[in-house]
Amino acid sequence: MEYQVERKENSIALISVRGRIVGEYQLVPLTEEVDELLEDQYRHIIFDLSQLEFMTSAGLSFFLKTLTRVRHLDGEVILVALNHLLNDLLVTTKLNAVFIIEPDEEAAMHYLKETGAVH
């Protein structure tokens, strides 16, 4: 698994995740990156999953923990560009009702503006 972080305006960060998430050990650097973003007052995280091929329960756990932490800080986590496999995984686990899921980054930014999360 690889990732790239892009710090945007209005306390928004875009994290693009590529490859496969199969174990918690892979997520340690990404968790540290999220910690740093939150310390730097970023409150909204958009995860671009268009290049994430697969994830196990370790990935689900990471995204749920991140969602909980961010929402406790009055922020939001948005998942974008899920492939059919990841979308089916979220539907099967009913996590599609927990996460905000948008088709792309533009729709995620629009969601944050429409809900008043950013200006």
Tokens of 106: 């533009």
**What does the pLDDT average to over 44-53?**
97
Q: Which fold has domain 2-114?
A: Transcription Regulator spoIIAA (3.30.750)
- Quickly state the pLDDT bin for 13 (edges 50, 70, 90): very high
For residue 96, count other CB atoms closer than 10 A to its CB. 16
pLDDT beyond 80 at 117: no
Q: Where are the domains of the chain?
A: 2-114
DSSP H helices, the chain, are 28-39, 57-72, 84-92, 105-114
pLDDT beyond 80 at 118: no
Contact assessment for residue 62 and residue 21, using Cβ atoms and an 8 Å cutoff: yes
pTM: 0.94
- Residues 12, 62: Cα–Cα separation, whole Å: 19
pLDDT of residue 73: 96
**What does the pLDDT average to over 18-23?**
94
